[in-house]
């Protein structure tokens, strides 16, 4: 693979894949994507085949699909390699008796084995169930008992967390690093046939069951179908701006929806090269990975960006990062201060994006062809209709805060909540809307602005206040590295604003610092948005995907027990 250094000006092409946003919004139809994927109306499909075999059949088999960094070193896999390996693994699964619709759990870190296994599972027509490898036995048991898998693919250490007695549906466990010849992953792949293994499916057939991060309650199993390929492909082109020459890195764990939709589906459907790294975070290691692999498009999270920012811009300047042409963020709202740091460290802005496990794919984003408004979610993807509504489902005008809602019917939309149709229907209780549970407003230019979860809204006297705007300003104070804001019950005013903060290194809490922070907020926000109480914490509660759990802060404040399966480690 030719891998010469790319500059910001010649990485792929100067021309964005999406040039005229407004025209696309009026003319685009999802059916137009079918031709790109080789899909025909009424014909069966398989998203894994579209990701891998299609490229080989169209003469692109020698293109590098994966660059994997693991303990044994760096390995590269072409699309032809991936076709053979995924066929081999799929055939091994079929020999094990795996059939369409059965659940196969993947308890693995980001690795070549994960990609091959995941795509192999989907090729068989089974339903892949990726689970974050940081979950411990108790939380894992909840997921396994709920989805009742027939087979689990994992590592030897992680295997110790699985009780086959507690989950009798498990017929077999395959380990990627074990000594058991019969159940050792590499041996199964090596001894299986690489003949075509794709099972052809209906577009509405399930292919993915993914448990949410649980930021708003107990995790639930979200079901996605093959039809989502249309949206993964198109948003990869329009939002990530992926081009055939790109070398792409998505830092999300494969147990999280971003690690699937934009770690697996979008890049492979677009035929680009994806770098895979499952090691721990370290600022120098990450910069070295970008430099050595000449990463051009980088999709990460505000949590990781904050950690890089805390490490200092001087470290970034030690590495040659000119290959980067686009940085994107997802997972929680992006504070404007991080964008300012990125311009200093990389000479590049960060394009924030919004979507959910339930939406399956990107819904609202900042596009390369549009002016960037730091702190904004951006505008809806062409083909998606988003609005801010009131409690009766009526659309609200610009600058009025309400619930963010999406008109139902997009390709990657979840099709069910596993074994809980009542919960699924709850999302659509105000037709034609899918109710996100997010609090937002739309400005006069059509950009959406996240304000928190509906449950997070603070009712202070006659005002409804969203916490995110206050949190964003708090972290702009030099002493504050993290902030979370809740409403604290007050007998006279309903609620008052209370902030939980984590101090930057070198700062000591005092009444003087508390007043300085409050004065800082007074000069930047309206008087009623200044926190009346500020409490210092060593850390703030977050889900595994980095989302702030304000409900846990509220439980702390009220002295209530915190029941959260995602926190069980």
**Exposure of 452 in the CB half-sphere (CA atoms within 13 A):** 22
Residue 142 forms part of a structural domain? yes
Sheet containing 494-503: give its strands across.
480-490, 494-503, 533-536
> Please, are residues 334 and 470 in contact by the beta-carbon 8 Å criterion?
no
Residue 430 forms part of a structural domain? no
CATH number for the domain spanning 508: value is 3.30.300.30
C-alpha 390/C-alpha 393 separation (Å) is 5
Residue of 7, 11, 80 lying closest to 244 (CA atoms):
11
What's the pLDDT score for residue 90? 98
Residue 29 forms part of a structural domain? no
Quote the domain boundaries for residue 50: 34-62+78-273
Alpha helical stretches, state H, 418-502 = 421-426, 467-474
CA distances from 310 to 304, 314, 473 (A): 10, 11, 17
Q: Which pLDDT tens digit goes with each residue over 290-306?
A: 999 999 999 999 889 98
Task: From 249, 273, 297, give the residue that closes a domain.
Answer: 273
What's the pLDDT score for residue 187? 94
Can the peptide bond before residue 432 be classed as cis, meaning omega within 30 degrees of 0? Answer: yes
What pTM value is reported for the model? 0.85
For CA atoms 110, 111, 113, 117, the dihedral sign is positive
Residue 425 forms part of a structural domain? no
Residue 250 forms part of a structural domain? yes
C-alpha 453/C-alpha 436 separation (Å) is 9
Torsion, Cα 50 52 55 60, to 10 degrees, reads: 170
By DSSP bridging, strand 247-250 and strand 297-300 are parallel
Q: Which pLDDT tens digit goes with each residue over 37-69?
A: 999 988 999 999 999 999 999 999 999 999 999
Distance of CA 323 to the CA centre of its chain: 23
> Please, are residues 447 and 441 in contact by the beta-carbon 8 Å criterion?
no
Angle subtended at Cα 111 by Cα 311 and Cα 338, rounded to the nearest 5 degrees: 25
Distance of CA 442 to the CA centre of its chain: 23
Task: From 230, 254, 273, give the residue that closes a domain.
Answer: 273
Task: From 239, 273, 307, give the residue that closes a domain.
Answer: 273
Residue 222 forms part of a structural domain? yes
Number of domain units in the chain: 2
Q: 3-state class of 141 per DSSP?
A: helix
Task: Flag residues of the chain having pLDDT under 70.
Answer: 1-14, 213-219, 461-463, 545, 562-569
CATH number for the domain spanning 170: value is 3.40.50.12780
The two most distant CA atoms of the chain are separated, in Å, by 73
What's the pLDDT score for residue 185? 96
Distance of CA 520 to the CA centre of its chain: 33
> Please, are residues 201 and 46 in contact by the beta-carbon 8 Å criterion?
yes
> Please, are residues 330 and 352 in contact by the beta-carbon 8 Å criterion?
yes
What's the pLDDT score for residue 9? 37
Partners of 79 in the beta sheet?
none
Q: For the chain, give the number of residues.
A: 569
How many other C-beta atoms can be found within 10 angstroms of the C-beta atom of residue 33? 20
Residue 531 forms part of a structural domain? yes
What's the pLDDT score for residue 213? 56
User: Residue 277: what are its φ and ψ, rounded to 5°?
Assistant: -140, 120
CA distances from 354 to 4, 180, 375, 378 (A): 33, 44, 12, 8
> Please, are residues 287 and 322 in contact by the beta-carbon 8 Å criterion?
no
Torsion, Cα 458 364 336 550, to 10 degrees, reads: 30
Specify the DSSP element, H or E, that contains 516: helix 511-522
> Please, are residues 253 and 231 in contact by the beta-carbon 8 Å criterion?
no
Specify the DSSP element, H or E, that contains 463: strand 463-465
Helical axes 112-123 vs 79-95, angle rounded to 10° = 60
What's the pLDDT score for residue 562? 66
C-alpha 131/C-alpha 134 separation (Å) is 9
Residue 119 forms part of a structural domain? yes
């Amino acid at each position: 693979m030719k891998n010469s250094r790319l500059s910001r000006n010649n990485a792929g092409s100067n021309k964005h894949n999406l040039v005229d946003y407004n025209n696309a919004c009026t003319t685009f139809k999802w059916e137009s994507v079918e031709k790109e994927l080789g899909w025909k109306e009424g014909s069966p499909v398989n998203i894994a085949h579209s990701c891998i075999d299609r490229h080989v059949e169209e003469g692109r088999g020698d293109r590098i699909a994966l660059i994997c960094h693991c303990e044994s070193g760096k390995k590269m896999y072409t699309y032809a390699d991936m076709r053979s390996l995924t066929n081999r693994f799929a055939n091994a699964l079929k020999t094990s008796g795996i059939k369409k619709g059965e659940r196969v759990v993947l308890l693995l870190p980001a690795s070549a084995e994960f990609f091959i296994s995941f795509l192999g599972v989907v090729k068989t027509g089974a339903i892949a169930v990726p689970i974050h490898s940081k979950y411990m036995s108790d939380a894992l048991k909840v997921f396994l008992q709920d989805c009742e898998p027939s087979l689990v693919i994992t590592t030897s250490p992680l295997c110790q967390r699985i009780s086959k007695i507690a989950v009798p549906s498990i017929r077999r466990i395959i380990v990627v690093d074990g000594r058991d010849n019969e159940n050792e992953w590499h041996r199964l792949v090596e001894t299986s046939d690489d003949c075509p293994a794709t099972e052809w499916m209906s577009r509405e057939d399930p292919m993915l069951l993914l448990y949410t991060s649980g930021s708003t309650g107990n995790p639930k199993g979200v079901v996605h179908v093959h039809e989502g390929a249309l949206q993964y492909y198109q948003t990869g082109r329009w939002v990530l701006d992926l081009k055939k020459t790109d070398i792409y890195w998505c830092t999300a764990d494969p147990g999280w929806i971003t690690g699937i939709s934009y770690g697996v589906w979008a890049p492979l459907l677009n035929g680009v090269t994806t770098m895979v790294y499952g090691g721990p975070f370290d600022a120098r290691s990450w910069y070295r990975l970008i430099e050595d692999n000449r990463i051009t498009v980088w999709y990460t999270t505000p949590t990781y960006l904050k950690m890089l920012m805390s490490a200092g811009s001087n470290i970034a300047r030690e590495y040659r990062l000119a290959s980067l042409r686009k940085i994107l963020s997802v997972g929680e709202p992006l504070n404007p201060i991080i964008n300012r740091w990125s311009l200093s460290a990389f000479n590049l802005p960060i394009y924030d994006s919004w979507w959910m496990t339930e939406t399956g794919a990107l819904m609202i984003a900042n596009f390369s062809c549009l002016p960037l408004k730091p702190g904004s979610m951006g505008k809806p993807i062409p083909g998606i209709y988003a609005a801010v509504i009131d409690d009766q489902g009526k659309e609200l005008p610009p600058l009025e805060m309400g619930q963010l809602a999406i008109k139902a019917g997009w390709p990657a939309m979840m099709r069910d909540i596993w074994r809980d149709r009542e919960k699924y229907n709850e999302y659509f209780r105000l037709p034609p809307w899918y109710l996100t549970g997010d609090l937002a407003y739309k400005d006069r230019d059509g950009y959406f602005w996240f304000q928190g979860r509906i449950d997070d809204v603070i009712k202070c006297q006659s005002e409804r206040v969203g916490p995110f705007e206050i949190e964003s300003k708090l972290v702009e104070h030099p002493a504050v590295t993290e902030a979370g804001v809740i409403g604290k019950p007050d007998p006279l005013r309903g609620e008052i604003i209370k902030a939980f903060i984590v101090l930057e290194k070198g700062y000591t809490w005092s009444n003087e610092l508390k007043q300085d922070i409050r004065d800082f907020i007074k000069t930047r926000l309206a008087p009623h948005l200044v926190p009346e109480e500020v409490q210092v914490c060593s850390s703030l509660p977050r889900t595994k995907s980095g989302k702030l759990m304000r409900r846990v802060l509220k439980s702390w404040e009220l002295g209530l027990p915190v029941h959260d399966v995602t926190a069980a480690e």
